[in-house]
Amino acid sequence: MKMTNKTNQLTKKLIQDLRKSAYDNGAPIWRDVAERLNKPGKSWAEVNISRIALHAKKNEVVLVPGKLLGSGDIDKPVTVAAYKASASAVKKISGAGGRVITIDELVKENPKGTGVRIMG
């Protein structure tokens, strides 16, 4: 696969940190997420909360390697880690008792990546 030339230094660092975490913790999930984020930005995932509400279980951890969008409703508490999240998505998930965090925070909380569902 052709490597892209990322110009955003924060994105480069996140990809590098994910690869290091995958190696250090024996967690291939972080390498998978790093490869998805290394692709061109226009091919990144865009997931609406209606899709999360449909597929995620109560109190599940969901990772979106891209942008979390606020279309739809959610009525169960979930933790969603995303590269970016719209303000309406954060408001709706928080209103349902869940939380929205960054991918970095998820890696720190769960270095092995167990119990994480990737959507997108």
Model confidence pLDDT, tens digit, residues 7-42: 899 999 999 999 999 999 999 999 999 999 999 999
pLDDT above 70 coverage of the chain, percent = 97
> Locate tokens 């590269």: which residue?
83
Q: Which residues contact 15 (CB under 8 A, 6 or more apart)?
A: 6, 34, 37, 38
Contact assessment for residue 67 and residue 85, using Cβ atoms and an 8 Å cutoff: yes
How far apart are the C-alpha atoms of 11 and 9, rounded to whole Å? 5
CATH of segment(s) 9-118: 3.100.10.10
Its pTM surpasses 0.85? yes
The whole-number pLDDT of residue 3 equals 57
